[in-house]
Structure 1
Amino acid sequence: MMFKGVWKSTFYFLILVFFAACGGNGMKKKEMNADAYFEYAKAKFDKGDYLDAITEFTVITLRFSNDPVVDDAQYYLAESHFKQKEYLIAVSEYQKLINDYPQSTYAVLAQFKTGLSYYNMSSRPELDQEYTKKAIRSFQTFAEEHPEHELTANGEELIQKMRGKLAKKLYTNATTYRKMGENEAALVYFDIFLEKYYDTTFAPDAYYWKSEILYKLKRYEESLNYFTILVEKFPEHGNIDKAKERIGKLSMMIKSAQTDAPVDEANNN
């Protein structure tokens, strides 16, 4: 389960919270009301003492669970983990805020920060892209639910960046099969690529190599079609002269085949 390790760590952490609340300045903190305790914890956060802030905000969520300040504490608890780059725990705490306090003024921001946490956990293109996909879904949901929010444009920009990463991974897979001479497998990957990532920087090369593979597989009409698309959409491509040469040759081959077909049929009779 995704958060199994998180909850195990939380159990031990709560024990530390208990002793922290009882020790040191325990009497002074014990006398604080919810607002005063929040200001005390927030001061820790503002100074960058995120570990202490985590402890104190956790105390607030437990000790003042029915006070209006609790959703603020829950948000800054998540933020403290985010600042510590403990992104998976941060996601858990942001989600708790969203689920338990949906009317909180921080709920929308917590939704965005959930996506940002996944984004920060996103791996290099050659590695597993689970968190990349989760980040994309989170930002897409945010954009759908809050189209006018000032952070929506930021999320959409990050979506495009992550789509580029997914595109690179898929293009690399297609290229690997192409270089191995596994043309049918490479073609499958290029097909998927051009269906999903036709608007990325790898698209021109994908069109070119798909056209070449179709040529090698003697699927000449399809090859001609994709070479033509390449020339029309990407006239500055590095292999544009080769593509035009292929178009000329393929056009002649297809025309010749169409002209010769009736003759062959007559000869067969």
Structure 2
Amino acid sequence: MFFKTMKKSLLFIFAAVLLSSCSSYQKLLRSDDSAKKYTAADSLYKAGKYKKALALMEQIVPAYRGKPQAEPLMFRYANTFYNLEDFYLSGYQFERFVISYPKSDSVEIASYRSAKSYYELSPRYSLDQKDTYTALEKLQGFVDKFPNSEYRPNANAMVTELKEKLEKKDYETANQFLRISDYKAAIESFENFILDHPGSKYRQQAFYGRMEASYLLAINSVPYLVQERLNQTKKYYQSFLKYFKEGELKQDADEILQDVEKRLSQYNTEN
């Protein structure tokens, strides 16, 4: 019985303290005391209570613009968005911080987190990649500006990941044209892929895909174009063979070539 009573008393005291704390916070939000809000926002930020800190910061940021306290405040303001995973705003606010305080000791980490914010916004490869291109630009800018930064390995790793995402996007786009039998578009897309991504892990598939699309275009063409397009397929086969003589798709490429040769032999017989 004693412990039950004690437990109820503690819960009552905790609830009272909590209500008092909430009441004080709400009262502070409604006040005009920027100094108290600055101190409270700093304490809440350090305690990891980012949403409450943010509400106070948003009220006092205009009041401290141009003052000595503005620099740490604006960094915490940007970092609060970052910690809340609001990456659109953290990227933007960190950029503003770097522009406003170029000599700050926090410029390097602000630049890194701005770039990383854009990286976080990059969508899966099947969607529009506008944010991915922006992230690559920001990350490359960071690496160029801070070549000896401790964050450089992470930035380079993100750049590699984003480039691979763009490669996959372009490769799958070409493949999609092949699947829907738009062979001309597939050939053009595979050719662009080969030019744009010389070191890609999809390079062999792209060379093979170009040849396959050319072959399918040829055998589905009107009669007077078939021979010319079969000969073009042979040229694509030679390009494939030049780089992937021992490749895993060599056998498939050979099978296409055999059929091409068989079809072309008919033209030679007729001639």
- TM exceeds 0.5? yes
Q: Counterpart in 1 of 2:120?
A: 120
Determine the structure 1 residue equivalent to 2:253.
243
Distance (Å, rounded) in 1 between the aligned partners of 2:84 and 2:211: 48
What's the secondary structure of 1:23's corresponding residue? helix
Aligned to 1:222: 235
C-alpha distance 142-241 of structure 1, shift in aligned 2 (>3 A): same
**CA, structure 1 residues 27+249, in 2 after alignment: closer, same or farther (shift >3 Å)?**
closer
Cα offset, 1:78, TM superposition = 0.7
Q: 2:77 matched to which residue of 1?
A: 77
Residue type of the alignment partner of 1:231 = F
Correspondence 1:84-103 to 2 at 5 A: 84-103=84-103
Q: Displacement, 1:79?
A: 0.9
**Could you list the per-position Cα deviations for residues 165-212 of structure 1 after superposition, in whole angstroms to 9, with x for gaps in the alignment?**
111111111111112222111011111111222323322211211233
C-alpha distance after superposition, 1:17-36 (max 9, x if no partner): xxx9993388896565xxx9
2:35 and 2:184 map into 1 onto residues whose CA distance is 73
Distance 1:23 1:97, change over 3 A: same
- The residue type paired with residue 92 of structure 1 is Y
The residue that corresponds to 1:64 in the other structure is 64
Whole-Å separation in 1 of the counterparts to 2:29 and 2:97? 28
Native 8 Å contact 1:118 1:132 kept in 2: yes
The question of whether the paired residues in 2 share the 8 Å contact of 1:177 and 1:186 is answered with yes
Matches within 5 A, 1:1-269: 23-24=27-28, 37=38, 40-215=40-215, 216=218, 217-218=229-230, 219-220=232-233, 222-232=235-245, 235-237=246-248, 239-244=249-254
Q: What is the Cα deviation at residue 43 of structure 1?
A: 2.8
User: How big is each residue's C-alpha offset from its partner over 1:51-102, in whole Å with a ceiling of 9 and x where there is no partner?
Assistant: 1221333455333333333212111111111111211111221122112111
Structure 2: segments with no counterpart, 5+ residues = 1-23, 219-228
Conservation of the 8 A alpha-carbon contact between 2:29 and 2:56: no
Q: In structure 2, what residue type is equivalent to 1:243?
A: A
Give the AA of the match of 1:98. V
User: Counterparts of 1:25 and 1:174 in 2: how far apart (Å)?
Assistant: 56
For the residue of structure 1 that corresponds to 2:125, the secondary structure is coil
Structure 1 range deviating more: 54-63 or 138-147: 54-63
3-state SS of paired residue (1:199)? coil
Distance 2:191 2:241 in 1: 16
Query: What TM-score comes out, normalization by structure 2 length?
Result: 0.72
- Using the aligned pairs only, state the percent identity: 19
User: Could you say if the C-alpha distance between residues 29 and 185 of structure 1 is closer, same or farther in structure 2, counting changes exceeding 3 Å?
Assistant: same
